Amino acid sequence: MMIHCSAPPGGCTSNASSMSSLCLPSLRCSPSFVLLPRSPSSSPKPRRRRRRLNLPIRSSLPPLFSDMDAAVTGLYPSHRCKTLHLVRHAQGIHNVEGEKNHDAYLSYDFFDAHLTPLGWQQVGNLRKHVRACGLSEKIDLVITSPLMRTMQTAVGVFGGEGYTDGIVAPPLMVANVGNSDHPSISSLNCPPFTAVELCREHLIENEDDVLWTPDVREKNEEVAARGMKFLNWLWTREEKEIAVVTHSGFLFHALSAFGDDCHPSVKSEMCKHFANCELRSVVIVDRGMTGSNASRTNYPGKIPDGLDLPSDVAKDKH
């Protein structure tokens, strides 16, 4: 099977040279105490006077609704949230050449750069991490930019084991993709994958067969706007835990719009540049009813039906 390339509204045509090499399937609490009423037949007993202890009961606790609490605490329905596991691709040959000469980042020869041997080592270490922490069992969907380095990273981290002839599932990646000398990777026991144009690197102005103009690319503001469009598109999907494998520039500009209402350290934690093969987990909240997914855990109660007027409401009514 070939990779399922999803192009949301406004997406562009993906790079065919990358697509032909990877075969991705598309897709504990403190106890509460209650005082039980005495039985009507029981006679009242004299009450014992209890000695008061002048203890500072709440000295170690913050005020219930201080300004600080209002600033740092947010409460949202869980079904209005998604967890995103953001990953920048591993080291590519363009990263190595770009350290020598920054112009290499604009070279057509490195536009669809593949991973270096060091990059594959980074992939292997991240793969071990996501399995050790249990993340690999939680991922519902893997979204990747449709470029070689991101797809190799996505498949290497979140894909199945090495592909052998005895495995009936199709391969996610064939052997030696991008002259990597890397064995094939199977699609067995892994989440679905999809390539999405909206999360790729800076888009070039025209993908038709025209002369290469490396200096004509998206402005940073346009990348940030595309990032918001991508995040909004995620709400059209039902998956709750999504891995997104993309590029440093896209992540930096897309995340820069967030965290202004947080402590500066929190914003930095979210928005600073990603290292190669870095994974950062964040939660996005649908506060505008963009998505329509119902909660899988909420329960309506009152089954069977009965009187259940809350005490504070009853007090107000009387």
Answer yes or no: are the C-beta atoms of 308 and 302 closer than 8 Å.
Answer: yes
Answer yes or no: are the C-beta atoms of 165 and 183 closer than 8 Å.
Answer: no
Answer yes or no: are the C-beta atoms of 18 and 155 closer than 8 Å.
Answer: no
Answer yes or no: are the C-beta atoms of 88 and 248 closer than 8 Å.
Answer: yes
Active site residue 94: no
Q: Position of tokens 């202890």?
A: 53
Q: 248-255 and 264-271 helices cross at what angle (nearest 10)? A: 150
Measured CA to CA, the distance from residue 89 to residue 186 in angstroms comes to 20
Active site residue 201: yes
User: DSSP letter at 37?
Assistant: P
Domain ranges of the chain: 5-26+78-208+229-285
Two structure tokens written together for 112: 């669809």
Backbone angles phi, psi at 51, to 5 degrees: -75, 135
Q: What is the pLDDT along the chain (318 residues), one digit of tens a residue?
A: 345 555 554 444 444 444 445 655 443 333 333 333 444 444 555 555 555 545 444 444 455 445 545 456 788 888 889 999 999 999 998 888 767 766 666 666 667 899 999 999 999 999 999 999 999 999 999 999 999 999 999 999 999 887 666 677 788 888 878 777 788 888 888 999 999 999 988 765 445 444 445 566 788 999 999 999 999 999 989 999 999 999 999 999 999 989 888 889 999 999 999 999 999 999 999 888 777 678 888 898 988 988 888 887 767 766
Which CATH number fits the domain 5-26+78-208+229-285, given the four candidates 3.40.50.1240, 1.10.3720.10, 3.90.1300.10, 3.40.50.720?
A: 3.40.50.1240
**Residues 249-264: tens digit of each pLDDT:** 999 999 998 988 888 9
* Per annotation, catalytic residue among 94, 114, 197, 201: 201
- Predicted model pTM: 0.74
User: 63-79 burial, b for 16+ CB within 10 Å, e for fewer?
Assistant: eeeeeeeeeeeeeeeee
Q: Position of tokens 């719009």?
A: 257
